């Protein structure tokens, strides 16, 4: 069958969906980013540290096998200028030297407290234990490889005083500090542009898919109201975001709260990370499907349906690929289809990345990495499809099995270079 006949055949709508969905969503994220910039970022008040009685904050740092990065993180947190703080390190049954390091750091720094858990029961469980031990109403959860900018706590906490009593969480802006190879630089572009653009747009819609687990501030009362983190969900940050918003707690995005983090620099590391993210997102939409039947939850419908549509797109992409493999008359016809779709995706993606990087460059020197963005669209869509396929059986199995969602030793990159 001629490839062009497929567009008008019974599967024409599938091919059209595969072609147009990424194109339309890229335009959507661009429009949302620009509108967020005009209405919120450009008009944001400057940060004034004086003449304000900043409240006590509890910084929770859950860790599992983090002996290589934890000391640097604690040194950074202890050195922050924020006046009233405590740092709570929760060692979740690590099998390396993390337990001893946590003990040593708690003895070295007066404001550091150590909690030793004998068994690995997951990040969500560690955070719950940290919350029970905390002395403040405001919690900032930070990954054990992260470095906060000095102003980040101020920007995060300020929202709780100008955002009303129903503000439950404020997510910060992750930035990548290891920029050593193609994979880390591609992720730098992704975090600075794609993830930021999505969060800006979702925030305008009034709901966000997820806070950033690497840096997020919570109101303790809000967490208690929703039953704390779900200990059986593989991604506690996505799960708690939905629980908060279902209970009508507001979640905000603060792009000026910069948190420097490490990312995987190997394909195996990225694969494990992205499958985990995809599984977590799928677990959430499987658990919260009843929101579609509640008019009160209508503001989150669009985010929910977008997640299902993204999964559907991955399966449709695979279907079209297999279909062409068996129906195209010649190899050239298949090549035409992939050339057309690839060119369109790369073209719109590069425009989206340019817009987003221009916005992100206000806080992070990322424009010089724009040329690395040329690799991103070509690899991302194929990787995303494979990740979705791998995550589906895991998310279904996880929902059936239950139990604690434990974590594993993360891939923090080959080198730790601060920007």
Please state, in angstroms and rounded to a whole number, the distance separating the CA atoms of residues 372 and 263. Answer: 16
Conformation bin of residue 90: beta by default, left when phi > 0, alpha when psi is -120 to 50 = beta
User: Is residue 184 domain-shared with residue 230, that is, in the same domain?
Assistant: yes
User: Is residue 314 domain-shared with residue 287, that is, in the same domain?
Assistant: no
User: Is residue 285 domain-shared with residue 320, that is, in the same domain?
Assistant: no
* DSSP codes, 143-169: -TT-EE-TTHHHHHHHHHHHS-TTEEE
Please state, in angstroms and rounded to a whole number, the distance separating the CA atoms of residues 287 and 303. Answer: 15
The two tokens of residue 231 are 């200990």
Question: What is the predicted pLDDT for the residue at 415?
Answer: 47
144-191 pLDDT, tens digit each? 888 999 999 999 998 898 877 889 999 998 888 877 777 777 777 777
Q: Across residues 59-79, what is the average pLDDT?
A: 91
Report percent pLDDT > 70 for the chain: 79
User: Is residue 163 domain-shared with residue 209, that is, in the same domain?
Assistant: yes
How many DSSP H helices and E strands does the chain contain? 14, 8
Report percent pLDDT > 90 for the chain: 23
User: Is residue 303 domain-shared with residue 258, that is, in the same domain?
Assistant: no
Domain that holds residue 318: 3-36+296-396
The two tokens of residue 296 are 């009160």
236-267 pLDDT, tens digit each? 888 899 899 999 998 988 888 889 888 887 77
Please state, in angstroms and rounded to a whole number, the distance separating the CA atoms of residues 20 and 26. Answer: 10
- CA nearest 161: which of 47, 77, 84, 40? 47
State how far Cα 353 lies from the chain centre: 17
367-406 pLDDT, tens digit each? 666 666 665 665 666 677 788 878 888 878 776 666 666 6
User: Is residue 202 domain-shared with residue 304, that is, in the same domain?
Assistant: no
User: Is residue 229 domain-shared with residue 317, that is, in the same domain?
Assistant: no
Q: What separation in angstroms does the CA of 269 have from each of 56, 262, 386?
A: 37, 12, 15
User: 417 pLDDT band (50/70/90 cuts)?
Assistant: very low
The two tokens of residue 99 are 């337990």
Of the two residues 380 and 300, the one the predictor is more confident about is 300
Question: What is the predicted pLDDT for the residue at 328?
Answer: 65
User: Is residue 288 domain-shared with residue 305, that is, in the same domain?
Assistant: no
User: Is residue 300 domain-shared with residue 181, that is, in the same domain?
Assistant: no
120-130 pLDDT, tens digit each? 888 889 999 99
User: Is residue 243 domain-shared with residue 313, that is, in the same domain?
Assistant: no
């Amino acid at each position: 069958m001629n490839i062009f006949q497929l567009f008008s055949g019974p599967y024409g709508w599938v091919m059209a969906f595969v072609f147009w969905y990424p194109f339309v969503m890229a335009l959507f994220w661009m429009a949302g980013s620009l509108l967020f910039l005009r209405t919120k970022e450009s008009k944001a008040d400057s940060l004034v540290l004086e003449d304000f009685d900043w409240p006590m904050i509890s910084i929770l740092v859950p860790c599992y096998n983090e002996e290589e990065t934890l000391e640097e993180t604690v040194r950074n947190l202890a050195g922050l200028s924020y006046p009233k703080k405590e740092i709570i390190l929760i060692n979740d049954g690590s099998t390396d030297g993390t337990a001893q390091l946590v003990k040593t750091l708690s003895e070295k720094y007066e404001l550091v407290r150590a909690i030793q858990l004998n068994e690995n029961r997951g990040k969500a469980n560690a955070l719950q234990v940290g919350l029970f031990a905390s002395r403040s109403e405001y919690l900032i959860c930070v990954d054990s490889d992260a470095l906060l900018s000095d102003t980040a706590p101020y920007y995060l906490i300020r929202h709780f005083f100008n955002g009303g009593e129903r503000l439950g969480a404020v997510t910060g802006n992750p930035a990548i500090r290891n920029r050593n190879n193609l994979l880390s630089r591609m992720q730098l572009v992704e975090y600075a542009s794609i993830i930021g653009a999505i969060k800006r747009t979702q925030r305008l819609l009034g709901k966000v898919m997820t806070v950033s687990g690497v840096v997020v501030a919570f109101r303790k009362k809000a967490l208690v109201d929703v039953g704390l983190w779900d200990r059986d969900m593989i991604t506690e940050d996505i799960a708690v975001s939905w629980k908060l918003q279902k209970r009508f707690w507001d979640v905000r995005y603060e792009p000026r709260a910069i948190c420097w983090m490490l990312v995987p620099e190997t394909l195996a590391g990225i694969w494990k990370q992205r499958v985990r993210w995809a599984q977590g997102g799928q677990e959430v939409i499987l658990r919260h499907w009843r929101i579609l039947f509640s008019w009160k939850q209508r503001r989150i419908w669009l985010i929910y349906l977008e997640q299902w549509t993204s999964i559907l797109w991955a399966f449709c992409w695979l279907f079209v690929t297999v279909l062409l493999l068996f129906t195209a008359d010649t190899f050239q016809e298949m090549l035409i289809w992939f050339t057309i779709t690839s060119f369109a995706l790369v073209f719109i993606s590069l425009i989206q990345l340019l817009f987003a990087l221009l916005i992100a460059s206000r806080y992070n020197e990322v424009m010089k990495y724009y040329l690395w963005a040329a690799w991103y669209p070509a690899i991302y869509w194929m990787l995303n499809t494979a990740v979705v396929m791998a995550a589906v059986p895991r998310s279904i199995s996880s929902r059936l099995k239950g139990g604690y969602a434990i974590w594993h030793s993360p891939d923090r990159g080959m080198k730790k270079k601060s920007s």
